[in-house]
């Protein structure tokens, strides 16, 4: 699954969660929103795909709303293509490869975000380098994990950092204050450690670095960090009891007055969204069964939406045949039944010239088909198939000679290869070419790289088969599993 597709799917989920959060923030457990954000993180960080059999219902197929087009249908409709009229222009600077500006801009943005997080965290660690260990009697709560407790006069608010070896750093000014406030602050930080919030903050930062171009991921980062604090507030009040709400809110207000540095990869008793936190603290109450049921239903709904998006984009795979399979495919098919006759001339030609899929482990993303326009209700012809693959090598579908190699505004960088029997194959949206005009190629030779040139929305290969100027369905010449 492409990064852009992952980001768009996650954007829909984030929008839904933001709406749910606005409506149900004080009606369901705060932990619910952390679970929802974790589901979005899975969508953002892991390009997973699920088999459609896991769903209790059937998703629309790739052919939904599409009328399959055969070679004879194309001829009847009058659709013909003259490769000479494509008017391919030389690639810029007459070079075989074009500079991937989109990838460069993306990489620069991701690197800038990562550098910001790393530099901010390193600055915080340097500030706390001279912190001192805290005496054992300053540990009023027992924790399941071993926690290092330290104090520093260079910070004004408590912080927790470290995934494997969690460390809580308290400001010295807090140690000289009220004992009750110290206990509240420590319990809050221990709750961060128990919930593994530092790990979650690292994952949120990683998602933001990968999807920095998506504004909704920034929204998720801000709201998820707020929800981390809300969950800790809720857990502290559940431990101390509802009677401690006023004291806890006062401790929060007291620390809000302090100014603290920015530490995006640490958890702290900080001042972010202070008004929202105080409202949540004062509204904390025992949740009803209906609230818990609503929480479970929301998590299941977001999980189902995530699974549906993964299955809906689950590709149809095709592996590049081995050398023995390619040689076998070049042999014409024979029939033992003398009465068996080819239905059309296109079938005969397909048998005479067997091709291989031009991409390895290809994903069929668009078919050779007649589409019904939703407004005009007229038939629109999609005169090729579109493929994508994690392997960006483009292979020659059959033996032939390169006739054209150039640029078209719509098709991008395009190769035309002439084969036997008046058949021409075209490969569009290429990033670069590995062959030149006049080169003889063998089936399976690498002829270029998959790209997103021309009017392509992402990296893909447009594959055309032309027989005497008539567009043919490429799937008549090789098989792809469905």
Query: 1-27 pLDDT, tens per residue?
Result: 478 878 888 999 999 999 999 988 888
Question: Three-state DSSP class for 271?
Answer: coil
96: closest CA among 427, 418, 436?
Answer: 436
According to the model, what pLDDT value does residue 326 have? Answer: 39
Question: Three-state DSSP class for 468?
Answer: coil
Cα 11 to Cα 217: distance, rounded to the nearest angstrom: 7
Reading the block at residue 298, the tokens are 């929301």
According to the model, what pLDDT value does residue 479 have? Answer: 78
Residue pair 35/306 in contact (Cβ under 8 Å)? The answer is: no
Reading the block at residue 54, the tokens are 């896991």
According to the model, what pLDDT value does residue 38 have? Answer: 92
Reading the block at residue 153, the tokens are 């006069």
CB atoms within 10 A of CB 338: 6
Reading the block at residue 211, the tokens are 């999807």
Cα 245 to Cα 318: distance, rounded to the nearest angstrom: 61
Query: 154-191 pLDDT, tens per residue?
Result: 888 888 888 888 888 888 877 776 777 788 888 888 88
Q: What is the phi/psi pair of residue 431, to 5°?
A: -80, -35
According to the model, what pLDDT value does residue 283 have? Answer: 73
CA atoms within 13 A on the CB side of 2: 16
Rounded alpha-carbon distances, angstroms, from residue 412 to 19, 106, 408, 419: 41, 21, 5, 22
- Give 201-207's long-range contacts (Cβ < 8 A, gap of 24+): 201/225, 201/228, 201/264, 201/265, 201/266, 201/267, 202/163, 202/265, 203/41, 203/45, 204/37, 204/41, 205/117, 205/264, 205/265, 206/45, 207/41, 207/44, 207/45
Domains and CATH numbers, the chain: 3-49+102-309 (no CATH), 66-98+317-332+345-476 (2.70.70.10)
According to the model, what pLDDT value does residue 267 have? Answer: 67
Query: 198-240 pLDDT, tens per residue?
Result: 999 999 999 999 999 999 999 999 999 999 988 988 888 888 8
CB atoms within 10 A of CB 246: 10
How does DSSP assign 288-336, residue by residue?
PHHHHHHHHHHHHHHHHHHHHHHHHTPPPEEPPPPHHHHHHHTSPP--S
pLDDT (tens, 9 = 90+) of the chain, 482 residues, equals 478 878 888 999 999 999 999 988 888 888 999 999 999 999 899 876 555 444 454 444 444 444 444 444 444 443 444 455 555 666 543 344 455 677 889 999 999 999 999 999 999 888 888 888 886 545 555 666 788 888 888 888 888 888 888 888 888 877 776 777 788 888 888 888 988 999 999 999 999 999 999 999 999 999 999 999 889 888 888 888 877 888 887 777 777 655 555 566 666 555 556 777 777 777 766 666 776 787 788 888 887 776 665 554 444 444 344 434 433 443 333 333 434 333 333 333 444 678 899 998 888 888 887 665 444 455 666 788 889 888 889 999 999 999 988 888 888 889 999 998 889 999 998 988 999 999 999 999 999 999 888 877 778 999 999 888 788 888 888 877 65
According to the model, what pLDDT value does residue 322 have? Answer: 41
Helix or strand (DSSP H, E) at 414: strand 412-418
Rounded alpha-carbon distances, angstroms, from residue 406 to 90, 433, 453: 5, 9, 11
Q: What is the phi/psi pair of residue 393, to 5°?
A: -75, 135
**Residues 39-55 as b or e (16 or more Cβ within 10 Å = b):** bbbbbbeeeeebebeee
Cα 451 to Cα 458: distance, rounded to the nearest angstrom: 8
Reading the block at residue 193, the tokens are 């450690």
Residue pair 185/159 in contact (Cβ under 8 Å)? The answer is: no
Reading the block at residue 465, the tokens are 């088969």
CB atoms within 10 A of CB 348: 14
Residue pair 252/230 in contact (Cβ under 8 Å)? The answer is: no
3-state SS string over 185-218? Answer: HHHHHHHHHHCCHHHHHHHHHHHHHHCCCCHHHH
Q: Regarding beta strands 132-133 and 159-161, do their DSSP bridges make them parallel or antiparallel, or are they unpaired?
A: unpaired
According to the model, what pLDDT value does residue 278 have? Answer: 77
């Amino acid at each position: 699954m492409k990064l852009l597709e992952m980001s768009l799917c996650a954007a829909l989920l984030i929008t839904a969660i933001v709406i749910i959060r606005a409506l149900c923030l004080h009606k369901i457990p705060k932990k619910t929103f952390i679970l929802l954000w974790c589901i979005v993180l899975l969508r953002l960080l892991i390009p997973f795909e699920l088999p459609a059999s896991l769903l209790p219902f059937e998703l629309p197929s790739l052919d939904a709303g599409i009328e399959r087009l055969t070679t004879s249908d194309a001829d009847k409709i009058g659709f013909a293509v003259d490769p000479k009229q494509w008017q391919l222009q030389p690639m810029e600077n007459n070079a075989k490869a074009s500079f991937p500006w989109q990838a460069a801009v993306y990489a620069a943005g991701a690197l800038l975000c990562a550098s910001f997080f790393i530099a901010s965290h390193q600055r915080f660690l340097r500030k706390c380098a001279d912190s001192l260990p805290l005496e054992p009697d300053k540990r009023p709560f027992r924790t399941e994990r071993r926690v290092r407790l330290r104090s520093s006069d260079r910070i004004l608010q408590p912080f927790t950092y470290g995934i494997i070896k969690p460390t809580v750093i308290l400001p010295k000014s807090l140690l000289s204050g009220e004992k009750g406030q110290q206990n509240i602050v420590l319990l809050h930080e221990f709750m961060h450690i128990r919930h593994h919030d530092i790990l979650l903050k690292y994952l949120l930062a990683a998602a933001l670095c990968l999807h920095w171009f998506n504004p909704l991921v920034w929204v998720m980062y801000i709201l998820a960090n707020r929800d981390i604090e809300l969950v800790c507030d809720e857990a502290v009040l559940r431990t101390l009891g509802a009677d401690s709400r006023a004291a806890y809110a006062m401790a929060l207000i007291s620390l809000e007055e302090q100014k603290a540095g920015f530490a995006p990869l640490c958890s702290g008793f900080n001042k972010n969204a202070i008004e929202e936190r105080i409202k949540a603290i004062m509204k904390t109450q025992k949740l009803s069964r209906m609230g818990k049921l609503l929480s479970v239903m929301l998590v299941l709904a977001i999980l189902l939406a995530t699974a549906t998006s993964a299955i809906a984009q689950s590709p149809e795979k095709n592996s590049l045949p081995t050398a023995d399979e390619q040689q076998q495919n070049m042999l014409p098919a024979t029939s033992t039944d003398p009465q068996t006759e080819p239905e059309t001339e296109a079938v005969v030609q397909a048998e005479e010239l067997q091709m291989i899929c031009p991409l390895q482990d290809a994903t069929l993303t668009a078919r050779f088909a007649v589409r019904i326009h939703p407004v005009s209700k007229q038939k629109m012809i999609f005169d090729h198939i579109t493929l994508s693959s994690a392997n960006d090598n483009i292979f020659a579908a059959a033996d032939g000679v390169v006739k054209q190699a150039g640029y078209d505004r719509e098709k991008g960088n395009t190769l035309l290869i002439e084969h036997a029997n008046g058949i021409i194959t075209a490969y569009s949206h290429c990033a670069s070419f590995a062959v030149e005009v006049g080169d003889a190629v063998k089936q399976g030779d690498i002829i270029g790289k998959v790209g997103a040139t021309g009017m392509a929305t992402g990296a893909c290969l447009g594959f055309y088969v032309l027989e005497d100027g008539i567009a043919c369905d490429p799937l008549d010449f090789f098989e792809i599993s469905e």
